[in-house]
A and B are shown apart, each in its own frame.
Chain A
Amino acid sequence: MSATRGQRMDVVLEADRLGKRYGSTWALRDCSLHLPAGRIAALVGPNGAGKSTLLHLAVGLLKPDAGTVRVFGRSPYGDTEGLADIGFVAQDTPLYRDFTAAELVIAGGKLNKRWDAALARTRLAQLGIPPDKPVGKLSGGQRAQVALALALAKQPRLLLLDEPVASLDPLARREFLQSLMGSVAESGTTVLLSSHLLADLERVCDYLIVLNASQVQLTGAVDDLVAEHRQLVGPRHDGGAIGGVTAVVRASHTDRQSTLLVRTDGPVTDPAWTVREVSLEDVVLAHLADGTTQTSHSEWGVAA
């Protein structure tokens, strides 16, 4: 019992068959996942997969239509006190565009009980952000940095970032992620950041949640995911069991040869198969490929 509780304490975000519906369309459905403390987690999925919906549920902007979501053991919707522990940067980093960065730091101080204005000011000074210019006139990268500084000044235990780098150029992306990693490394903040491009986050994240077509396709620590997936190349495969393989994620066949991306629970010893290690991107793409084609076929009303 105590072991279970100890484990629970380490879970920052927990969703259980979580669902959110807009009209008759489920934006998120049967979403069950848990995010352990101290992780930098990437929430990856194509546009419209439900990433923003999941983050909005986690920060209490949305009320679940099914299942539950818990952040630090509390249900976030309508929980004002719980908000103090969550830092959130919404998509496109919305800020009051006519406010200066300095005014936004003041505003944050008025809106939060726990607020480290010095931390925000130091960060913004280091990044060379002008304090007296309306943030609407800053570059996209600078504005994202202001939004991040404001989120960090809350000293959150969980930081949620919705597509933080989507609108940034490659250089600004790298700078943004670097400064993010630098600041959460020492505080031990758990971070969940979403992107439709894994490549953006691959270098910084150590945990992965893949969403597709409103459902969780894959979740786990990056190292484990890479370790338990293998690519097998061998003679044409008829669907029979292969020793050490728990599931075939994706298969492609030519007349004589099959290429499989599989999940394993041990070494694949069958000599007929050539076993190759895979990259994280291979794993994610294999898991994504399925859902998307199915969805679009059914949406167009044609057979797959």
Chain B
Amino acid sequence: MIWLTWRQHRKQAFYTLLGFAVLAAVMVPIGLSMRHTFADLGLADCVKPVALSEAATEACNAGFHRFTNQYGSLNLVAVLLITLPVLVGLFWGAPLVAREVEQGTHRFVWTQGVGRTRWALVKFGLVGASVLLLAVGYGLGMSWWAEPLTQSAHEGRFGLIVFDLQGVVPIGYTLFAVALGVFAGTVWKRMLPAMGITLAGFIGVRAAIAILARPHYQPARTQTFPIEGGGIPEGDRGDWVLSVGIRNADGTMVAEDTRIQCPPGGKGPDGRACGAELGLKPGAYNWELYQPADRFWLFQGIETGIFVALAVLLLYLAVRRVRRIA
């Protein structure tokens, strides 16, 4: 079985590795140059968890600004790279059973001396282990590559794209994509429909979990600060701000998705109190709902767990379906 799996997929494995090598050849120089710039701008000191003097903070912000101007467009590249797990699902997962059935070879291989359950377990296991290695490499590589970008961005590693790109979540996504492809192949039994379903299903589940579930893995924290004086506290860099707004003293939301900052005792142009034109009463304050930056690995773990669990479930269903295909 192992020999057969290798013989069947060696060409595909070669091209996959080639693709990754090309990708690495492009990404590593970019990553190195990013890190050089990051160091040259003196930003390494800015991300250390120590209190900075006001001047240093200003210098840091200027540096981050310059860095973002120079490399901000790479966030687009990051968006493209986020598709890699689903590509693995499309080209490794979906054809695994669908191609056999489409070409009729399942009737050859399932009527030899190994049962089809064992066939399925060995094949799913070997392909799963291979893509696991790929995903680990991808996750580590992307963590390294995206580090300067995420450090200079205000939302840090929790950003909607960069969170999905690094750490351990790519493992969950990749396994899920492959399992979804395999399962779709056992249901639709043709490569193209199976690939289409895999793509649609992957995007749907990923978006649903990222948007609906992820903000609630842990109860979010709130932070408030007055609208007058002080200035907006920077907070920890890397906090994931879920929503902001201005509330009145009794807690009612007056203006969503905005913040306000007035000089102490400041008046509006018409002589009324600052923010009165928004309907703010005395005692109104800025309000913010956020997930603290130090929950990054916890969230990574939860999200990975969800997708690995989904992958295991799908593979179990796929093995059951394989027993019913003739």
Contacts and interface: CB of A to CB of B under 8 A. Distances in A.
Interface of A: 56, 59-63, 78, 80, 83-84, 86, 88, 90-92, 94-99, 103, 106-108, 110-114, 147, 150, 154
7 contacts: A61-B111, A80-B113, A80-B114, A84-B113, A94-B103, A107-B4, A108-B112
Nearest to B111: A88
- Per DSSP, chain A at the interface is loop
Contacts of B103: 94, 97
Complex A-B, nearest 6 residue pairs according to Cβ-Cβ distance, in ascending order: A94-B104, A80-B115, A90-B107, A111-B112, A112-B113, A61-B326
B109 interface: yes
Given A90-B104, A90-B108, A113-B113, A80 B118 contact: yes
Given A56-B326, A106-B3, A114 B113 contact: yes
Instruction: Give the one of B1, B111, B323, B324 with max A CB within 10 A.
Output: B111
A234 to B, nearest CB: 49
A90 B106 CA distance: 10
B61 interface: no
Contacts of A113: 113
Interface in B107-151: 107-115, 118
Contacts of B107: 56, 61, 88, 90, 94
Nearest to A99: B7
B8 interface: yes
B4 A83 contact: no
B113 A154 contact: yes
B60 to A, nearest CB: 57
A148 to B, nearest CB: 12
B105 interface: yes
A272 to B, nearest CB: 52
Nearest to B119: A111
B104 A111 contact: no
Nearest to B4: A107
Contacts of B118: 80
Nearest to B7: A103
A90 B323 CA distance: 17
Given A56-B326, A94-B104, A61 B110 contact: yes
Interface string B306-326: 000000000000000001101
A59 to B, nearest CB: 5
A111 B326 contact: no
Given A80-B115, A112-B113, A96 B104 contact: no
A162 to B, nearest CB: 8
B120 to A, nearest CB: 12
A278 B103 CA distance: 42
A83 B112 contact: yes
Contact of A92 (B1, B3, B104, B109): B104
Q: Which of A91, A95, A97 has the most CB of B within 10 A?
A: A95
Which of A63, A90, A110, A111 counts the most chain B CB atoms within 10 A?
A111
B111 to A, nearest CB: 4
A93 B32 CA distance: 54
Contacts of A98: 11
Q: Which of A56, A96, A99 has the most CB of B within 10 A?
A: A96
Contact of A94 (B1, B105, B115): B105
A95 B108 CA distance: 7
Contact of B323 (A78, A88, A103): A78
Nearest to B103: A94
Residue from A56, A90, A91, A108 having most chain B Cβ neighbours under 10 A: A90
Given A88-B107, A95-B108, A111-B113, 6 more contacts: A88-B111, A90-B111, A94-B103, A107-B4, A110-B1, A111-B114
Given A56-B326, A61-B111, A61-B326, A110 B3 contact: yes
Nearest to B109: A111
A96 B9 CA distance: 12
Interface in B85-110: 103-105, 107-110
Contacts of A150: 108
Contacts of A111: 1, 4, 109, 112-114
Nearest to A22: B326
Contacts of B3: 106-107, 110
Interface string B19-31: 0000000000000
B2 to A, nearest CB: 8
A92 B106 CA distance: 13
A84 B323 CA distance: 18
A66 to B, nearest CB: 16
Contacts of A110: 1, 3-4
Given A62-B326, A78-B323, A111-B1, A83 B115 contact: yes
Nearest to B118: A80
